[in-house]
Structure 1
Amino acid sequence: MITNQMVQETLGMFAFLAVELTLLFLLISYLVGVLQEYIPPQKIQAILSSKNGKGYVVAGLLGSITPFCSCSTIPFLKGLIRAKAGFGAMMVFLFASPLLNPIIIGLFAVTFGIEVALTYFIIAMGISVVAGYGLEKMGFEKHIRAEACVEDGPKGCGASCQGQAPVVSKWLRIWRSTWKDFKKVLPYLIGGIAIGSMIYGFMPTELLSSIATRDNPLAIPVAAVIGIPLYIRAEAVIPLSAALAAKGMGLGAIMALIIGSAGASLTEVILLKSIFNTQLVMAFLLVIIGMAISAGFLYQYLF
């Protein structure tokens, strides 16, 4: 039964995510554009080169210190693509950044203990590196859309040749490129937020905890799949998990839900469709679901 509270929560979540993700996308896109002005693409390519084994680890560590949610990794990813960074390393960053968010790790340690948090970090980092390496070796780089590799805006004289200050034209050019990127992903962004908000508003925690009980052998796979369409911010995912644990949800299922929701929200998947072909989007989803399920069973066995 649909109640006024459900409708209000749905509309509130839609408004909150629309404002938050819009500001995040514009800010991060602009900052990436500024970084590209001062850090040559060749340097980024060298650091995150898939031919250098260290590139995968560096990408994972870079992801672990960036407080990005699953959606706000997209503009940073587009910057890496245009800088021609190694494909495998880019995928490691895409997997690791939202999962190893320092806020999540900190809340993990406080809520479940340092041992649980450290185990989570090792699992997420390890699988991210292996998955990035594997996808590159299987040739999935060809499934990046051609338009995602094209740099927007002129790199030549621009307005500076008209007598204006070069610094003004540079900042303006970066903003125009940022705005152009935003307009491309806006339909995907709004669609994903709308669907995710409805799921958030109309799916009670009681349903999740009843499905993913300790005695249900399918609890962990179900929790992993349910987590995908949920858009749960880092600040909310751990308190929500604690509430679900109090209602009888097993730790393994909780870990699967956290990895599924934090690693691949529906909004992120829709945004990725503007950058990747379907084959690579499906491979990304399979990695996240596989990571969620394997981590869930490992936690159930260890803890």
Structure 2
Amino acid sequence: MSPEFLNALQEAANMFAFLAVELTVLFLVISYGVGVLQDYISPQRIQSILSSRNGRGYVVSALLGAITPFCSCSTIPFLKGLLRARAGFGPMMVFLFSSPLLNPIIIGLFAVTFGLQVTITYFVIAMGVSIIAGIALEKLGFEKYVEPSAYVAPKPKKCGSSCGSAKAENRWLRIWNSTWKDFKSVLPYLMLGISIGAVIYGFMPTEFLAKHAGNDNLWAIPVSAVIGIPLYVRAEAVIPLSAALAAKGMSMGAIMALIIGSAGASLTEVILLRSIFRMPMILAFLFVILSMAIGAGLLFALTSIGSAGVL
């Protein structure tokens, strides 16, 4: 085997190990945190805040997504909590779209790397498309494509007559048991997504992307958007990677499409969503992210936004 192949294999193995540990910890911590919140905040309260019967729910969901430091995969446990609280479907979808794209980490790195103008434009596009998509999906009746099991919280194990007297003492253990049961149900999906993403990460040369994604090639924008989905990269890594690609000659439009595709709909997230949504909803989710990525990329390519390059 060639040294190049061995190096790519090593990178893929390292990425698999890193993602497996990171996403497992993230999923468990966030799921447990959501369980604690659900224990203290009534489902009626969440439903009233994220109600789809008024416009406030959509805006609040988008802002909630903007202040939560979730990546595309760690959004899933929070989404499950919202489903079980019977929050409005449209606002939940707004949160699903906006949370990984507008989290504080990616916005901060955006501002430092690409400047304020690019960051504001990106923020407005991601926020606006997320709200419009949430409204449209609810109006079109896509709520019927939610799996019925997604609304049901795992039942805690029965402990006999002693439960009544020890209920307060066992609250944390009860939440942990529910969290662990949730995790085991999505573990096969999680490992499959991580495996595929790690292989692509290790064997996809960045030089190839830069060579075929220059300023004179608009086709690079949809290609970058599609490539971004299986190329799972955390927010902390996607911006530095994009800066390196820009330095090699990749156009700002293609970079924007790559960032939105990668941060907004990683392959791992899509596989995890299959445990919550039926296929028409999965396809609608991918359509929204790809449309957002391509639209933003074309806007940057056909205007002067970001023409000054990386700061």
TM range (shorter): over 0.9
SS of residue matched to 1:231: coil
For 1:116 and 1:163, locate their aligned partners in 2 and report how far apart those are by CA, in whole Å.
57
The offset of 1:154, in angstroms, is 4.6
Normalised to the residue count of structure 2, the TM-score between the two structures is 0.94
For 1:73, the equivalent position in structure 2 comes to 75
The one-letter amino acid of 2:247's match is A
- What percent identity do the matched residue pairs reach? 69
Does the aligned pair in 1 maintain the 2:222–2:294 contact within 8 Å? yes
The one-letter amino acid of 2:203's match is F
1:158-197: CA deviation from partner (whole Å, max 9, x where unpaired): 6684465323321111111101110110000000000000
The one-letter amino acid of 1:39's match is I
Q: Describe the shift of the 1:50–1:158 C-alpha distance in structure 2 as closer, same or farther (beyond 3 A).
A: farther
For 1:129, the equivalent position in structure 2 comes to 131
- 2:17 paired with 1:15: yes
Alignment partner of 2:54 out of 52, 75, 81: 52
Q: Describe the shift of the 1:160–1:107 C-alpha distance in structure 2 as closer, same or farther (beyond 3 A).
A: farther
Does the aligned pair in 2 maintain the 1:92–1:132 contact within 8 Å? yes
For 1:190, the equivalent position in structure 2 comes to 191
- 2:142 paired with 1:140: yes
For 1:238, the equivalent position in structure 2 comes to 239
The offset of 1:217, in angstroms, is 2.4
The one-letter amino acid of 1:150's match is V
Does the aligned pair in 2 maintain the 1:82–1:150 contact within 8 Å? yes
The offset of 1:3, in angstroms, is 1.7
RMSD value, Cα = 1.4
Q: How many residues align?
A: 302
Normalised to the residue count of structure 1, the TM-score between the two structures is 0.97
For 1:8 and 1:84, locate their aligned partners in 2 and report how far apart those are by CA, in whole Å.
44
Does the aligned pair in 2 maintain the 1:49–1:86 contact within 8 Å? yes
For 1:151 and 1:163, locate their aligned partners in 2 and report how far apart those are by CA, in whole Å.
20
The offset of 1:224, in angstroms, is 0.5
Does the aligned pair in 1 maintain the 2:215–2:301 contact within 8 Å? no
Does the aligned pair in 1 maintain the 2:156–2:177 contact within 8 Å? no
For 2:161 and 2:18, locate their aligned partners in 1 and report how far apart those are by CA, in whole Å.
39
1:238-264: CA deviation from partner (whole Å, max 9, x where unpaired): 110110001111001100000000000
SS of residue matched to 1:148: helix
Alignment partner of 1:64 out of 63, 66, 71: 66
Question: Which piece of structure 1 moves more, 208-217 or 193-202?
Answer: 208-217
Unmatched 5+ stretches in structure 2: 306-311
Question: Which piece of structure 1 moves more, 2-11 or 125-134?
Answer: 2-11
The offset of 1:4, in angstroms, is 1.4
The one-letter amino acid of 2:259's match is I
Does the aligned pair in 1 maintain the 2:253–2:297 contact within 8 Å? yes
For 1:37, the equivalent position in structure 2 comes to 39
Does the aligned pair in 2 maintain the 1:59–1:92 contact within 8 Å? yes
The offset of 1:219, in angstroms, is 1.0
Does the aligned pair in 1 maintain the 2:90–2:138 contact within 8 Å? yes
> Counterparts of 1:1-303 in structure 2 under 5 Å?
3-154=5-156, 161-162=162-163, 164-302=165-303, 303=305
Does the aligned pair in 2 maintain the 1:158–1:169 contact within 8 Å? no
